[in-house]
Every structure is written in C-alpha cells, then in structure tokens.
C-alpha cells in the first residue's frame, strides 16, 4: 500500500524533499568537536517553493525513528526525480487543480530554527541571499557550502564528508561503473553537487560573474549589477574608424567566405570600393576568387519594389518631405542635451558593451512569483520588468503569454484561471457554431472568398516547422540541371500575394487540409473572420497566429489569445492603411529627432520613406528574425514596460546599429533598400534589445531636457512680457511614444458587397 495520502500536514510537520546525510559543522579545529547531522530541504503546509526550509539538523536531536526516515530519504533520492514531488503553487493552464498528496514516509517534525539549540539552523529559501560552493581540494579535503542570509547573517559552514555519506558513495559507484567519475559537467563529483542540483529544482540561482563559486538566490537586477565586474570609467574610448575590409592575411583559411560576405553586403558604388581594395591589397588566391563571374555578380541582383506598395510609399515620402527638418533640433539644443547626457554621441560603444541582458525566466523562477493559491506575490510591474530584461524559457512560455496577452488576469488564482479556461472553451464553441450551422452564410461569395484566402495562406505559413509539415514532399524550385545551387523553397511575403503559388488551385485543392494543426488554424481564422466582421481576415494574420498556436496547441485558448493580440495589431491591417502609415510617419519623425545625421544621409539617398520597414512593422519582424528570436521579441514587446510602441525603438535600433555603414558606403535608394532587405535573418537580437532600451531611455531624457528648457523660456518670456519665441514644440506623435497604453484603431464598418483584405 502506498504511503502517499491526501492528508494535509500539521503546522508542526514538514515533508522532506531532499536529504544529505553525514554532513558536519566544524565549530573548532579539533575533529572531536565536529557535529554530524543532516542537510535537508523540507516543505510545510500550504508552502510555495520560496517557503521551503533549508535546514541542518544534528543527529543527536533526532529520535532513532526520525534518523531512519532521514536516511531513507537520503538514499531513496538517488533514483527520485525531485520534480515529481508536488510543491503546490501555480497550476498549469491545461491541467486540473488537485489536492496535494503527502508522502507520510517523508513527514517529520519541523526542524529547529535556532542556531543556539545544539547548532541546528533552519531558514526559508526566500531569506537566503547567496550560497558559496567550495569544492573539495588538496587544501580543503572536505567540500563545503557557505550560506548567507538577506539580513547579513552567515550560517555555520556545512562540510560534506563524502567518504561517510551513503548516497554520495552510492552515486560515486554508479559514476565509476559508467567510467565517468566527473559527471555531465566535467567536474569531479562530490556531495555538494547533489545539494545544489536539488536546490535549483526549487529556486532560481545565478552564478556571480565576479566570483564563480558564489550563487545568488532569486537575484534581482540590483543584485546582479552589484556582483558584476566593475568597468574602468577612465579607460580611453577607442575612436571609431571608417569601415575597412578585414585584413585577409589574418585568416587566410577563412578568407574566401569572409570576402564573399563582405562583398555581398554592399551593392553598386560600395561594392566597387570593396573590389578596388581587394584588387590593391589582397593576396593572389583571393584575387582569383574575386575574379570569378559568380562572385562579381553578388550584390548586382536586386528585387524590385512591389507595385502594390509603391503608391503607399509615395504618400509617406510626400508627407516626410513636407515635415522635413520639422522634428530636427537646432545645434545648440543638441549641444545642451549632449552635455547633460555626458556624450556627443547618441549611443557610445561603452554604453552598449557595459549593458547586458538577464537570463531567461525558468520554470522554477516563474513558479516562485506565485503564492500557494496561484496568485502573484510580486507586482505586475516587477514581473514585466523581469520579462522585458530576460524573456522566458520555452517551458513556461505558454502560461506566461496568457498573462501578457491578458487572457488570464494578473490578479487571478490558479483555481480562477481553470474556471476561465472552461468558459473560454464554451464561448469559442458558441462563436464557431454560428458559421458552422449557418448554411446560407457559407454560400455567400464573400464567405467563400475569405475561406479560400485563409486556406491558401495557412498552407504556406511556417511550413518549415515540424508541427506544420505534411508527409508529402514540398514543391521546390530547381535552377537548372546539374547546377551546384541547392533547390530552394519560395517564401511568400505577408503583405503581398505569392505569384509563384497563384495557380496552386490547378495543382491541388487548398481546402483539403490533412495536417491537423493547420486544420485548427483554419478553424480559428474563419471564426475570427466572423468575430471581427468589419476587419475579417487579412493576409499576414497567419504570421501572427502561428507562434500562438505552436505555444498553446489549444484551439480555444489560441483563439482568445489571438483576438487580444489583434486588438493592438488591427491598425496594421485596416483597409485604408492609415494605421501603418501613421506608424511609419512616427518612425520617420523619431529618426529625425534621434538620428538627424542618418536622416540627412537617407534624404540624399531618397530613402526617407523608410520603405524597407513596412514588412518589419506589419508582422513585428517575423520575417527578419529566426523563430526563437521572434518568440523572445514578441513577449518583450507585449510587456509594454516602457512604452506600448517599443517596436518603433527596435526599428530605430536597427538603423542606429547600421548607421556607420549606411553613411559611409551607401549613396542610392536601391543600395539602401537592398542592404536593409539583406539584413533579414542576420540580425542579432540581444544587442538590438539593449540598443533599443538605451535609445528609449535617451529619448525620454531628451524630452525631459527640452521640456525643462521650454519651462525656463516661458518664465523668462512672462517676466519680459514677450511672445514665446524659441519654444521647441514636441509633436503628439513623439510624446505618444512615452505612453504605455496600447494604441487601438478599429476598422470602420464594412459595406455590403465589399471584399476581404
């Protein structure tokens, strides 16, 4: 009969989660004074991971029966996965809430908390600040751990006598039989590794970058900064030099690919400059590579702008020219701002390099944010700050996204969220039945056309992902017989029809969807077409839906998450394109305000319409980043931590990151357009996230400085009874970038007979 029962713990009881026997305190240098005991992790009633007790209990304070229990848990944990122990706390969105089962064989009296009572101690994990792990060495035969609490107290050092501990000896024997005494990480096995491994199942720890032996427990950003290496503020700043071709002699073995990559980056005049430099300085083998026709052709191929966007681009260009220099500041204002910001550069290389991203939120850390009932124990802003600066691991991404998209209220309990899931399922089924049971509606031309658009688009969305792949082979394009070029699959653009697949109906029936996940995506989009009748389905929505479905794989939850996402993205798809045009105009003004020199250069290149950013903003960089990077960027943007329009600062970061190359090497519209288009799948997410955050913070400080200058001028003008000449006007578009409220723009009523998007 199993000892696991549903009986609740008493206040005086705990359930042992982990035990290491034969650990010692060394109060003096004499072995005779050593105190042997058990190091344990235990859980009391209604406890979360943060409430787990870390305890040292001397053997002489335990009864024979209790010692037997501690030893049984110690040896038994060798083959036990600690994650199978129910810890209460949050409940997964797709699981039923259930009572916590207690293993009575692990239940013991609560450990003593006072150091004075025979050297025992016990503290909650939430009270621990750091743990120093000292491995066994020639100078310290016994490995040990030093535990520091948040109130500055250092608990007695715990020594692991591995030659006496049954579990350590047994584990070492297993490793020896595997001919691997070092374990998975290549380090010598000892008892402290078992302890840290168990601890990290329950609480977030991060290794200090200053002292690798120190682990910070549930650290915040301040803790990490305090334990980061100090920078030499007086170190000389390297002067930026013009872009140069890499010195090929330093890496001759890889020269072929380096040179090809450099040449492929530029076109027209810039490409010719590079080739001239190669011709003058490169070794003979490299000159031979460059002289090949295939290499000379690199950079000359250029995909012309899509016709359907040309009219829109011209409108943006006209408006940009009308507002030209309106949002640029006078040089004296820039000088004042630069003086206060401490730099003549908008972003120095030092600022970029000294800033770093945090580690992603793990499942253990995410669960530590909640109390026993599943309610947040932190503020929403604290959680959003943590997500913004680190993102979340894939193991909890689905649940976190439901909070970020407000499918789950931030103040809900685990039980309330389970009830919500059931109500969402019911509401979705009711919506779906409206079109399933309406035969008359399904026979209308509009409905048939929308259904066909949806079916056609989902057949070509993210088909490289295993979840969306069919067994049949995908159609490929072969250049020519015997060609060395690999066959390629054509990737459609979200904003324009795919010409190569325009005649797919002649090859297969797009309505015959055999992949079950694509079928559910179709059902979701058709239901959304009915849910939002004015907007309906518009091409590009499949790109927004796909990541949500992959994470949830739950039709009803995916639908409601998609509707929440579309609340903020609907302005990108309205028929008159006013939402996209406004964002592009705002980005144009932001560029003038923050990067005036780059704006002036783009003006010379006839590229101030920022045509190349249309697709990036339309589907939030989904076609420019790798899949995992897209997921990370979206969850960061959903936090609205600084602003609900942080995607514009991310776009500005891309321009800022490439400013030097653009200014020094590109002089024509086609060169700029090709260069920006070629950045697709070559962007480095973390540096851009750092840059975008710094750009926003500097933008906010610039606005504050200008507002202060305006206030001083108004005071002077009032005293002198003169007009407000010299007051700097900051437009509503730029001030709106400081707001966290999501910008909502709904489509107007769709007239009878009007087609879909």
* 237 Cβ contact list (under 8 Å, min separation 6): 348, 349, 350
Residue spans of the chain under pLDDT 50: 1-2, 4, 6, 78-99, 229-238, 240-283, 285-290, 292-314, 316-318, 320-325, 344, 473-507, 720-723
Placement of tokens 């810039």 in the chain: 270
- The 3-state DSSP class for residue 665 equals helix
- Pairing type for strands 121-124 and 53-58 reads antiparallel
CATH of domain 4-226: 2.30.29.30
Residue extents of the structural domains in the chain: 4-226, 248-297, 307-358+577-738, 412-471+501-573
Give Cα separations from 132 to 29, 143, 217, 219 (angstroms).
Answer: 21, 11, 11, 14
According to DSSP, the residues that pair with 158 across neighbouring strands are 25, 145
Q: Which SS3 state, helix, strand or coil, does residue 520 take? A: helix
Q: For 47, list phi and psi in degrees, rounded to 5.
A: -105, 145
Pairing of strands 205-207, 13-25: unpaired
pLDDT at residue 77, as a whole number:
57
Strand 13-25 versus strand 128-134 pairing type: unpaired
Which pLDDT belongs to residue 262? 37
User: And the tokens for 492?
Assistant: 């459609």
> Quick check: 258 and 251 in contact, CB under 8 A?
yes
**What was the pLDDT predicted at 273?**
44
Three-class SS state of 275: helix
HSE-up (13 A, CA, CB side) for residue 296: 7
Closest-CA residue to 698 (of 312, 348, 403, 294): 348
Give the other-Cβ count within 10 Å of 62's Cβ.
19
The Cα–Cα gap between 534 and 76 comes to: 62
pTM: 0.73
Radius of gyration over every alpha carbon of the chain, rounded to an integer in angstroms: 31
**What pLDDT sits at residue 86?**
42
Q: What is the pLDDT of residue 117?
A: 52
SS in 3 state form for 86-133?
Answer: CCCCCCCCCCCCCCCCEEHHHEEECCCCCCCCCCCEEEEHHHEEEEEE
CATH tag for 412-471+501-573 (out of 1.10.390.10, 1.10.8.270, 3.30.1780.10, 2.40.70.10): 1.10.8.270
* pLDDT on residue 351: 54
């Amino acid at each position: 009969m199993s000892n696991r029962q549903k009986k609740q713990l008493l206040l005086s009881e705990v359930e042992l989660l982990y035990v290491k026997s034969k650990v010692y305190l060394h109060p003096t240098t004499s072995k005779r004074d050593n105190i042997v005991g058990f190091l344990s992790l235990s859980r009391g009633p209604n406890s979360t991971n943060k409430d787990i007790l870390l305890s040292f209990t001397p053997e002489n304070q335990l009864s024979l029966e209790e010692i037997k229990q501690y030893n049984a848990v110690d040896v038994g944990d060798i083959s036990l996965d600690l994650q199978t122990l129910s810890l209460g706390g949050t409940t997964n969105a797709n699981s039923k809430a259930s009572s916590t089962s207690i293993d009575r064989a692990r239940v013991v009296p609560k450990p003593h908390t006072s150091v004075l009572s025979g050297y025992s101690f016990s503290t909650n994990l939430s009270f621990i600040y750091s743990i120093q792990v000292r491995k066994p060495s020639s100078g310290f035969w016994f490995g040990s751990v030093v535990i520091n609490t948040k109130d500055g107290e250092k608990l007695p050092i715990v020594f692991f006598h591995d030659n006496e501990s049954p579990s350590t000896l047994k584990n070492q024997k297993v490793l020896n039989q595997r001919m691997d005494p070092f374990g998975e990480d290549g380090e010598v096995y000892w008892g402290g590794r078992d302890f840290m491994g168990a601890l990290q199942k329950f609480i977030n720890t991060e290794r200090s970058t200053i002292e690798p032996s120190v682990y910070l427990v549930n650290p915040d950003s301040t803790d990490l900064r305090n334990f980061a290496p100090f920078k030499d503020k007086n170190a000389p700043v390297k002067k930026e030099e013009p872009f140069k071709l890499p010195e090929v002699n330093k890496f001759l073995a890889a020269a072929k690919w380096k040179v090809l990559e450099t040449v492929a980056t530029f076109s027209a005049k810039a490409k010719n400059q590079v080739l001239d430099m190669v011709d003058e300085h490169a070794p003979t083998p490299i000159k031979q590579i460059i002289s090949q026709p295939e290499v000379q052709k690199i950079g000359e191929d250029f995909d012309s702008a899509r016709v359907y966007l040309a009219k829109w681009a011209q409108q943006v260009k006209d408006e940009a020219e009308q507002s030209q220099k309106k949002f640029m500041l006078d040089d004296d204002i820039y000088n004042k701002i630069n003086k206060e910001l401490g730099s003549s550069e908008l972003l120095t290389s030092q600022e970029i390099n000294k800033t770093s991203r945090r580690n992603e939120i793990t499942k253990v850390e995410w669960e530590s944010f909640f109390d026993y009932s599943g309610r947040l124990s932190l503020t929403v802003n604290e959680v959003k700050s943590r997500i913004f600066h680190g993102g979340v691991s894939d193991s909890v991404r689905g649940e976190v996204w439901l909070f970020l998209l407000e499918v789950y209220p931030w103040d809900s309990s685990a039980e309330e969220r389970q009830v919500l899931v059931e109500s969402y399922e019911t509401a979705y089924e009711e919506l779906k039945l409206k079109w399933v049971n309406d035969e008359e509606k399904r026979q209308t031309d509009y409905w048939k056309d929308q259904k066909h658009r949806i079916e056609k688009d989902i057949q070509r969305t993210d088909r490289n992902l295993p979840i969306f792949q069919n067994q049949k082979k995908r159609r490929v394009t072969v250049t020519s017989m015997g060609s060395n070029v690999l066959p390629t699959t054509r990737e459609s653009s979200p904003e324009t029809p795919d010409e190569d697949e325009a005649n797919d109906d002649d090859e297969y029936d797009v309505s015959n969807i055999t992949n079950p996940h694509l079928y559910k995506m179709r059902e979701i989009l058709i239901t959304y077409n009915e849910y939002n009748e004015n907007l309906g389905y518009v091409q590009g929505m499949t790109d927004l839906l796909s990541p949500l479905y992959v994470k949830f794989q739950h039709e009803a939850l995916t639908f409601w998450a998609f509707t929440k996402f579309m609340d903020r993205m609907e302005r990108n798809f309205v028929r008159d394109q006013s939402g996209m045009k406004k964002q592009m105009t705002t980005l144009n003004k932001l560029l003038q305000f923050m990067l005036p020199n780059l704006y002036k250069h783009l003006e010379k290149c006839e590229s101030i319409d920022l045509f190349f950013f249309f697709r990036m903003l339309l589907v939030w960089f989904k076609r420019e980043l790798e899949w995992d990077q897209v997921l990370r960027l979206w969850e960061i943007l959903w936090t609205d931590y600084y602003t609900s329009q942080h995607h514009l600062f991310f776009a500005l970061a891309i321009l800022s990151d490439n400013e030097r190359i653009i200014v020094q090497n590109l002089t024509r519209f086609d060169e700029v357009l090709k260069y920006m288009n070629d950045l697709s799948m070559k962007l480095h997410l973390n540096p851009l996230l750092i840059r975008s955050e710094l750009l926003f913070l500097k933008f906010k400080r610039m606005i504050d400085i200008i507002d202060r200058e305006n206030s001083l001028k108004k005071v002077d003008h009032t005293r002198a009874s003169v007009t407000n000449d010299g007051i700097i006007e900051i437009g509503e578009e730029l001030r709106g970038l400081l707001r966290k409220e999501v910008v909502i723009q709904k489509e107007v009523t769709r007239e009878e007979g009007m087609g879909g998007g």
